[in-house]
């Protein structure tokens, strides 16, 4: 997600499932420009966040 006016939305591949989309209030859906899909697919991150490793235990 990107803050309003941050200008980074093009750098993200956010998607939501139909079930999730349908549970969101209309006001939220109006501000959430993303594809609505049957099934989420893994995405490749376009940047690195230092110290963030998905699924790694400390």
- Over 70: is that where the pLDDT of 57 sits? no
Query: Within a domain: residue 51?
Result: yes
State residue 38's pLDDT score: 96
Phi first, then psi, for residue 14 (nearest 5°) are -65, 140
**What digits encode the pLDDT tens for the residues 1-46?**
666 677 766 666 788 999 999 999 999 999 888 899 999 988 776 6
Query: Within a domain: residue 2?
Result: no
Other CB atoms within 10 Å distance of the CB of residue 35: 9
> Is residue 38 a contact partner of residue 18, using CB atoms and an 8 Å limit?
yes
Query: Within a domain: residue 1?
Result: no
State residue 22's pLDDT score: 97
pTM more than 0.85: no
Helix (H, G, I), strand (E, B) or coil at 36: strand
Which residues have a Cβ under 8 Å from the Cβ of 48 and sit 6 or more positions away? Answer: none
State residue 55's pLDDT score: 53
Cα-to-chain-centroid distance, residue 26: 17
- Count of domains forming the chain: 1
């Amino acid at each position: 997600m990107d803050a309003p006016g941050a200008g980074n939305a093009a750098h993200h591949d956010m998607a939501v499932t139909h079930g999730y989309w349908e549970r969101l209030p209309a006001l939220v859906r109006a501000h959430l420009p993303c594809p609505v899909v049957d099934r989420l697919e893994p995405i490749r991150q376009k940047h690195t966040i230092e110290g963030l490793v998905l699924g790694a235990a400390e």
